[in-house]
Chains A and B, each alone.
Chain A
Amino acid sequence: MEPRTCIAAWDADKLTLYTPTQGISNCRTDTARDLGIPPETVHVICHYMGGGFGNKNQNQDADLITAMLAKEAGAPVKLEFTRKDDFIGVHGRWPTIQYYKVGVSRDGTIKAIQLRGYSGMGPYRKNTGAIAGIELYQCPNIESLVYPVYTNKTVSGNFRGPEYPQGFFGIESMMDDVAYKLGMDPVDFVLKNMTRKYRDEMPYTNYSLDDCIRRGAEVFEWKKRWHPQPGSDRGPIKRGAGMAFMAFRSALGRSSAVVRLNTKGQYTLFVGVTDVGPGAKTTMAMIAAEALGVPLSKIEIVSGDTDRCPYSVGESGSRTTIQTGYAVIQAAEALKLQIAEKGLPKGDDVRVGSATPNPTLEGKVRAAFGAHFVEVEVDTQLGRARVLKYLAVHDCGRIMNPLTATSQIKGGATMGIGMALHEDLLYDRRTGQPLTAGFYGARLLTHRDAPEIEVIFIESDDGYGPYGAKSMGESSKVPAVAAVANAVFNAIGRRMRDLPITRDKILGALA
């Protein structure tokens, strides 16, 4: 939860930046480009950071400002944002307005989907403004018109699943409505219409959506918790259940790793990754230990330093484990080959294995799959919605570290609950000034607001990535908002179309 900070120091023409970044390599090239200096003269260091959350995978404005101030001052400069600066000066999720039209036959088969959407990008465009979700459904006729628009609000950027949670909230609210209109159980409707091939064309490297949804429905006791007639609980406190599912990109790509063995039998792993929160350094060392067949304690890791580590793709897009993790295995194999050829190192010698693989998928699409099931309780007199039960079922391929993996899913689901029921950066309409910047005003969840979240992994190995590991970090937030919102509908029989679903809106809808 660290706000933006940076220390910049110049030594003649060489710049050193200590900055919390999700990509030391990108930060170096971007900074060099912006300052008009060669990339080799920029040294980026990030050994520890207080969380990534998505929009630190470029050089940040803060880095550039600090570098320029340090040049001007002729001395090292440290810049540190206040929490309020961080809310206003850094980039949050783009808000959207989405209109859907869905054509469906009487037997519940989707025939056509149209989306007209608008994304608020702020005064300049930093990222795509896309709205994801339609591709979840198998449908011969899809039209998606998305217009990123300039606004007088803070600039929008990438934030955990940049185009996903808000897009999935839109499409899955819509499809939930369609299912009720048809008199179908939303779970049956999804099973009938969900993607089987990517955009009806490309096969997935493995496919487990049926498993995720069926297993989830069974463990959650969907039939028992879901009300065929929404809002049918008697009494002022009503319960309801909702679900949403997801498929999330899990692409392969280029990254690098170097492993070195010295005469003391100590292995040193060099990777460019930074730990944005999920424990990436531990995971990288675990992969190296596995590939080398040595205990974890034999692996030392050097990371987050452009002068000491090889290229890293950057810790965004949920790809650190898949891409750099795969490079770690390849580097370990290269080292083992060296040892086989030349024997163990002697004296001051070392053996070094390195790799920069760039694997491809040969016409297939790789995706992580999942489904979330949520039960809520809505107090219709006091307007309060509360999550009672939360189950997240995920296929993230092979699980590398069960503890951190479970935390990733819980964290994403918790953020989704916050986005669904709590958080808002509200603006004064006349002046355009933000009114709720900061953790107090924006109503982030506290520990007491986070429910118990049950996580089930359906492990798979599609033969790609490191031991079949797929993406994870962002995907746990993707279906969460939609699942909570659909549960609220099931409880009160009112479709809440405006996030967050707060007390004023619930009581307004019920008035």
Chain B
Amino acid sequence: MKTFANANAHDLQQAVTLVQQTRQDGRAASFVGGGSDLLALVKERIVAPDVLVNLKTIKGLDQVTLTGGDATGMTIGGLITLDALSRHPVVRRQYAVLAEAAETVATPQIRNVGTLAGNVCQRPWCWYFRNGFPCLKNGGNTCFSAAGENQFHAIFGGGPSHIVHPSDTAVALVALDARFRVVGPTGERVVPAAEFFILPQQDARRENVLGPEEALAEIQVPSARPGTRSTYHKVMDREAWTHAVVSTAIVLEMDKQICRNARIVLGGVAPIPWRLPHVERMLAGQRITETLAAKAAEAALEGAKPLARNAYKVPLTRGVIHRTLLALAART
């Protein structure tokens, strides 16, 4: 493993400056929160930073703050651990989808150190990328999965890279219409979740809009409208410590038996959290019956482009949507 220096940041601006200065000196720098993903990448020699800019020393960035006034909702500091997020009473009560997504991540050990921002910005777990193949994600010109082992790869939005986005919480955050506050050398900006994640056709080297000197500082989630219920369903290859084979985050605004508004996002099927607006429209204003749920699940997989070894994800995703949607609608 390559050696590196650690630099503790005391506020976000200083963190950005530290990264900027290191890069200007011709050395590589990385922001680090919990480090559970970054250190694995360093050990596997996928990345080789000279300086880690430690964000954990910034105070107050690990809190959930409830916001009032016009912009009601909550703001979540990017440094909150996945464990703390999943146990937070307000999150559990009003944003169950996020708490449930956080508690499915990896293992208790990783959830104790891993942060929300780190999870959202996690690098892909494609085995070609993680094994150091000279793939698009590693700066090469090829996606090895296209003609190789692609059991766990994308059925939507793939090409030229066919990775799937690895984050569970990102799927939930897109379903919650969250907004991402990003801090960088030119100040800060707020990016809607739908624009934060980017497809490989836009840039195959990265998974989101963050520039090399930008950090995800906090996440704003709008308040839940009355009658809102939500859930996260993750299909895993074992009971712990795997990424989603397929997952879905569903948020329903119910008015008695009628679904006023639905948001459905898939994980494990595309290079970004994959939202299904056409399916959401099918559900709006409807009673969610067995027949409608089946139709919605069918429609959800329209346009899927499975690769040679992942066609099973089509019926699997259909089954997950059908079942999760019905169970959530039936919940009282």
Question: A interface vs B, CB < 8 Å?
Answer: 236, 381-384, 422, 426-431, 433-437, 440-441, 443, 445-449, 502-504, 507-508, 511
Contact = CB atoms under 8 A, between A and B. Distances in A.
B323 to A, nearest CB: 7
B149 interface: yes
A295 B239 CA distance: 44
Contacts of B316: 381-383, 503, 507
B94 to A, nearest CB: 28
Contacts of B323: 381-382
Given A381-B319, A383-B312, A435-B149, A422 B131 contact: no
Contacts of A383: 312, 315-316
Nearest to A505: B312
Contacts of A445: 238
Given A381-B323, A428-B128, A503-B245, A446 B239 contact: yes
A446 B235 contact: no
15 contacts: A381-B318, A426-B149, A428-B128, A428-B133, A434-B131, A445-B238, A446-B240, A448-B239, A503-B237, A503-B316, A504-B151, A504-B309, A504-B312, A508-B312, A511-B315
A382 B235 contact: yes
Contact of A428 (B148, B237, B310): B148
A480 B332 CA distance: 43
Question: Chain B: interface residue count, which band?
Answer: 20 to 34
B148 A429 contact: yes
A504 B315 CA distance: 10
Interface of B: 127-128, 130-131, 133, 144, 147-149, 151, 235, 237-242, 245, 309-312, 315-316, 318-320, 322-323
Contacts of B242: 440, 443
Contact of B319 (A382, A430, A448, A511): A382
Nearest to B147: A430
B149 A429 contact: yes
A446 B109 CA distance: 14
Contacts of A384: 235
The 9 closest A-B pairs by CB, nearest first: A381-B319, A448-B239, A507-B312, A435-B127, A504-B312, A446-B240, A449-B239, A449-B238, A448-B240
Contacts of B148: 428-430
Residue picked from B131, B147, B245, B309, most chain A C-beta under 10 Å: B131
A502 B238 CA distance: 10
A428 B144 contact: yes
Nearest to B151: A504
B244 to A, nearest CB: 12
A382 B324 CA distance: 12
Given A426-B149, A429-B149, A437-B131, 14 more contacts: A382-B235, A383-B315, A427-B149, A428-B133, A433-B131, A435-B131, A443-B238, A446-B238, A446-B240, A448-B238, A503-B235, A503-B316, A504-B310, A511-B315
Contacts of A429: 148-149
Residue picked from A435, A502, A508, most chain B C-beta under 10 Å: A435
Contacts of A508: 311-312
A244 to B, nearest CB: 23
